[in-house]
Amino acid sequence: MIETPLILAWPLITAQLLIFGTAAFALVAGFSEIPVRDGAPDSLVTFWRGLALVILIISPLRFLSVAAGMADSTLREVLPFVPQIIRETFAGRVWAWRLGVAAMLAIAAWIPSRRILPALMCTISTMLLLAQSLTSHAVDKGASAIAIHFVHQVAAGLWLGALACLLIGATYGGASAEWLGWATGRVSKIAGWSVAVLVVTGAIRAWYAIGLHFELLLYSLYGRTLLWKLATAGAVILIGGYNRYRLVPALGEASARATLIRNVTAECLLLGAVLGWSALLTNTPPPH
């Protein structure tokens, strides 16, 4: 059997969450309205366009990979059966819809209006997150599991997006104490809520996967991957806590601002690694 390559799943999941999270932050926090140098909002638009292109290019490849996995064949062998898979399977129908949404996202990213762009990016990427949930392990368990998976993704996207916006703003919009003070307050609030939701929905998802058989955390590939994901996410939370309680009160000092930006970069990279574990989990059968 051909497993769906991680090399396609990881960038797709990451791009979807980043575009959703940054657009949501821009929408809710009014990123384009803040009094910083003009570079930040434009950088965000360029960022969205890049992510939209990544999603547009990778989505069909990922679908082909999934279809090949279902048909237990190679990418080339499955090509003639793609229309049948789209017509006759649930995943095929969701993917057909998902590919259309990916195209819509790429078109919308080039709309010149800065006012409606965050709302458009947020809305369309939300549809992609829903499609992701509908093609996950959660679909086996019905509507409630899909809803939990979706909420988990939304929380992860908000967390990652808020940190990415902070990083983009600090890099392209100037890392003044005033701006960082404004941004870190919002990012901290979003991150706190997101982590709380992620802990709860993550626990429920783990319960769906392994029930109360905690030994499976150690004695199954799925369980061990989940533990690595938790450990990496735990490291991000520790860094976030240090930022919030040690660095933010000292933002008046240039060294604290520099350390904060460096730590936020590390958080973003570690969250990328968390998404790598998540992508691996999507391709790993939960223990039975």
Partner 1 sequence: MTTLKMCISAVGLAIAMSIACVASAHSFPESETPSAGQKVATTPSEVTINFDAPIEKLFAKLEVAGADGKNEAAGAPQISDDGRHLSVKVASLKPGDYTVKWAVVGIDTHHTEGSYTFSISSGGS
Name the one range near partner 1 by CB under 8 A: 110-118, 124-132, 136-144, 271-279: 136-144
* Residue 80 near partner 1 by CB under 8 A: no
* Residue 50 near partner 1 by CB under 8 A: no
Structure tokens belonging to residue 108? 């919308």
Task: For the chain, state the CA radius of gyration.
Answer: 20
Q: Which residue has the tokens 């999941």?
A: 13
* Residue 66 near partner 1 by CB under 8 A: yes
Phi then psi for 271, rounded to 5 degrees? -65, -35
Q: Which of 28, 61, 70, 235 binds partner 1 (CB under 8 A)?
A: 70
Q: Which of 23, 44, 164, 209 binds partner 1 (CB under 8 A)?
A: 209
* Residue 41 near partner 1 by CB under 8 A: no
- Closest-CA residue to 31 (of 156, 151, 119, 109): 119
Do 198 and 152 meet the contact criterion of CB atoms below 8 Å apart?
Answer: yes
The sign one gets for the Cα dihedral 55, 58, 63, 65 is negative
- Within 10 angstroms of residue 228's Cβ, the number of other Cβ atoms is 16
Q: Rounded to the nearest whole angstrom, what is the least distance from the CB of residue 286 to partner 1 in the complex?
A: 4
Pairwise CA distance, residues 14 & 270, whole Å? 12
* Residue 197 near partner 1 by CB under 8 A: yes
For residue 121, what are the contacts with CB-CB under 8 A and spacing of at least 6? 19, 20, 22, 23, 26, 48, 105, 108, 109
Instruction: Tell me how many residues contact partner 1 (CB under 8 A).
Output: 42
Q: Which is nearer to partner 1, 111 or 185 (CB)?
A: 185
Q: Which is nearer to partner 1, 5 or 192 (CB)?
A: 192
* Residue 212 near partner 1 by CB under 8 A: yes
Name the one range near partner 1 by CB under 8 A: 96-104, 198-206, 236-244, 248-256: 198-206
* Residue 74 near partner 1 by CB under 8 A: no
Q: Which residue has the tokens 């575009």?
A: 19
Report the chain's terminal Cα–Cα distance, integer Å.
18
Q: Which is nearer to partner 1, 144 or 181 (CB)?
A: 144
Q: Which is nearer to partner 1, 39 or 81 (CB)?
A: 81
Q: Which residues between 163 and 192 bind partner 1 (CB under 8 A)?
A: 192
Structure tokens belonging to residue 31? 């990123």
Q: Which residues between 214 and 273 bind partner 1 (CB under 8 A)?
A: none
Site residues, partner 1 (CB under 8 A): 1, 66, 69-72, 84-85, 88-91, 135-142, 144-145, 147-148, 151, 192-193, 196-197, 199-201, 204, 207-209, 211-212, 285-288
